Amino acid sequence: DIQMTQSPTSLAASVGESVTITCLASEDIYGSLVWYQQKPGKSPQLLIYGATILEDGIPSRFSGSGSDTQYSLKINSLQPEDFASYYCQNGLSTPYTFGAGTKLELK
């Protein structure tokens, strides 16, 4: 199984700041990396797929990058609604493993 190691586990930031979350795959996933946002009590929401492609309706302050085994999610100019948990997912092959998550909290 492909292991997804996400860091940091938690992150405190202020409105207007920029943050970066990273995800390391245990083997090359050829850009098949997916990011989700999850707010408390809600289902996950697709943000980015194919490592860099923004899902329709997602603000452009979200961006994804990376290749091979190393990937990042960057959020520019944090807005109050961005404070949530974020998960990466291996989209290459089953089992579709997720990272352990990053909780983004308001400083």
Residues binding other proteins (CB under 8 A): 1, 32, 34, 36, 43-46, 49, 55, 87, 89, 91-101
Please tell me the distance from the alpha carbon of residue 93 to that of residue 61, in angstroms, as a whole number. 29
Phi/psi-derived region of residue 17, left when phi > 0, alpha when psi is between -120 and 50, beta in every other case? beta
CB of 58 to other proteins, least distance (A): 11
* Of residues 83 and 87, the one with the C-beta less far from other proteins: 87
* Of residues 15 and 100, the one with the C-beta less far from other proteins: 100
Please tell me the distance from the alpha carbon of residue 79 to that of residue 40, in angstroms, as a whole number. 16
CB of 98 to other proteins, least distance (A): 4
Contacts (Cβ under 8 Å, ≥6 apart) of 57: none
CB of 43 to other proteins, least distance (A): 4
